[in-house]
Amino acid sequence: MTLLIDDAGVGDLLSGVVIGIYRPETDRFDFEMVDVQYFQKGAFKRKGYLRETADVVLRLVERFRLEETEPIEICSSFIFDEAVKQLKDKHAESRVKVVKIVGKAQDETEKAYLNELRKLGYEPISDRDTRRARSFFHMLRWVKQDRSRLRYAKTGWPRLRRYIRF
């Protein structure tokens, strides 16, 4: 058996980040969120999202009851830098592989993220994966329509100041 770990939403303006875990052999999927607060101002500068992501990953792995020799494949995204270190320390370096996650693990994680966006009241554009800039500006317009939505935005990004006055 193998555990696959992926993320969704890191590069998007809205919401936190979904961390998904999937075991293909049992078709089991679960996820947790790294809250948007970790991508806002002070916490973002301190890279609090790295520690929180590592905590989320360790909880998910624990929840799935990792078998003695079961490998872990984790997405190569920078958000997992701390998680990879901790997984290697805890479960042996040879069991943890940094890879590109594709297939059902990626699809389920993305679907979970899109559902989290919908819970905010935002409807993502259909071609958001291929039209990243269009998706960003669509989200930005949605935030600007109601300034109270700014609390859902990853405001720690330095370049965001070009588009939104705080």
Q: Which CATH number fits domain 3-162: 1.10.1060, 3.30.420, 1.10.8, 3.40.50?
A: 3.30.420
Could you report the per-residue pLDDT of 31-78, keeping only the tens digit for each? 999 999 999 988 888 999 999 999 999 999 999 999 889 999 999 999
Domain boundaries, the chain: 3-162
Assess whether pLDDT exceeds 90 at residue 157: no
> Would you say 122 and 150 are in contact if contact means Cβ atoms under 8 Å apart?
no
Of 12, 17, 15, the closest CA to residue 133 belongs to 12
pLDDT reading at 165 higher than 70: no
Of the listed ranges 55-59, 110-114, 156-160, the least confidently predicted one is 156-160
The DSSP line for 119-162 is HTT----TTTTT-HHHHHHHHHHHHHHSGGGGGGB-TT-GGGGG
Per-residue pLDDT tens digits for 119-135? 999 999 887 777 777 88
Confidence label for 161 from pLDDT (cuts 50, 70 and 90):
confident
pTM, to two decimals: 0.93
